[in-house]
Amino acid sequence: MYSTQLSLTSPQSPVNGFAGRADLYSRLLQLEDLAALHALRDEVLGALPNPDCYVREADEAVFYRQHLSPQGATIGVFHHHQLVAYAMLGLPSAEMPHPLADALGLSGQERAELSSLSSCMVRPDWRGLGLQRALLGARLALADGFGRRLCVGMVSLHNHSSRHNMLRLGMYIAWAGQLDGLQRQITLIDLRRHPHVAADDERLIDSNDLDAQRQALTDGYIGIGEWRLPRQVRLRFQRRLPGQLLA
Ligand SMILES: CC(C)(COP(=O)(O)OP(=O)(O)OC[C@H]1O[C@@H](n2cnc3c(N)ncnc32)[C@H](O)[C@@H]1OP(=O)(O)O)[C@@H](O)C(=O)NCCC(=O)NCCS
């Protein structure tokens, strides 16, 4: 289901091709790539379309190391040896504090099977080519390979591209509210089974209307899609049918 195109080879022998482009290649980043990663992040964070889309982590050095093997993985996409995009997968231990798992009320067993889509950035010149989507597919495949059937993500209400890609690859909005003072949605996927919903019981909610999204989630709906209009995105919440474990 998920396109990976991820080279797990060493930096010396990358496999060409990523997201349908023969001039790109991908590999897992290592300690020696952190300077290039930091430079890419500085460029992207200095020119965000909306500052709410991504808030820099308080301690980036710790954050980077938490997403290198064995605690996680960071996939880099390169063009002529220049880093043009990256995406991180976290592999937290069940005992680690995890605000998203807390918000979702995950059990100890579910936390042991959890991975997190921690961060993804694409340099401005390389946007709109499907790199984020391919990196999401690669991370879901990687999570599955690590035996983490649950994958969680967090998105700003203003980040339509990220939410679109998550919904397109089968994730759903499982929670909405304030996290560290920011309005956020939490997206989730269980790679072993998809939630059952009542397709004829739907609420269309403005992507900025946090209160209505919270109410829908409280009422047993989950966000499974979107309706894109010229100046508005409406989110499709459908009622979840009973009989499954997760929120
Ligand atoms: C967000 C970001 C990673 C997207 O990267 P990208 O490689 O350009 O994304 P993709 O090309 O894979 O996908 C963009 C998708 O968003 C869709 N999209 C764009 N605007 C949209 C909107 N207003 N509503 C819904 N979907 C929208 C596009 O149509 C495209 O989907 P499609 O291919 O199905 O048509 C990139 O813009 C970025 O680095 N932003 C700054 C950092 C950031 O916000 N990171 C994400 C934090 S969660």
Where exactly are the structural domains of the chain?
Answer: 15-194
Is residue 220 within 8 Å of 203, Cβ to Cβ?
no
Q: Which of 107, 99, 121 is nearest to 150 (CA)?
A: 107
Q: What is the pLDDT of residue 2?
A: 46
Q: What is the pLDDT of residue 204?
A: 98
Ligand 1 centre to CA of 93 (Å) is: 30
CA distance 247 to 245: 7
Q: What is the pLDDT of residue 16?
A: 78
Residue found under tokens 């397109």: 168
Index of the ligand 1 atom closest to the CA of residue 128: 11
CA distance 149 to 191: 5
Using only C-alpha atoms, the chain has a radius of gyration, in whole angstroms, of: 18
Q: How many residues does the chain have?
A: 247
β-bridge pairing 114-122 and 150-156: parallel
Q: What is the pLDDT of residue 14?
A: 61
Kindly report the pTM of this predicted structure. 0.93
Please report which helix (H) or strand (E) contains residue 89, including its range: strand 82-90
Cα 87 off chain centre by? 9
Q: What is the pLDDT of residue 244?
A: 59
Ligand 1 centre to CA of 245 (Å) is: 31
Binding pocket residue ranges, ligand 1, CB within 6 Å: 44, 48, 53-54, 120-122, 127-133, 155, 159-162, 164-165, 168, 226, 228, 233
Q: What is the pLDDT of residue 13?
A: 53
pLDDT, mean of each 10-residue run, the chain (247 residues): 44 73 96 97 96 95 95 97 97 94 96 97 97 98 97 97 98 97 97 94 98 98 97 97 66
Index of the ligand 1 atom closest to the CA of residue 136: 12
Q: What is the CATH architecture of 15-194?
A: 3-Layer(aba) Sandwich (3.40)
Pocket test for ligand 1, best of 84, 140, 161 (most atoms within 8 A of CB): 161
Index of the ligand 1 atom closest to the CA of residue 19: 12
Counting runs of H as helices and runs of E as strands, what totals does the chain give?
7, 11
DSSP bridge partners of 78: 25, 83
Q: Which residue, judged by its Cα, is nearest atom 8 of ligand 1? A: 127
Q: What is the pLDDT of residue 9?
A: 41
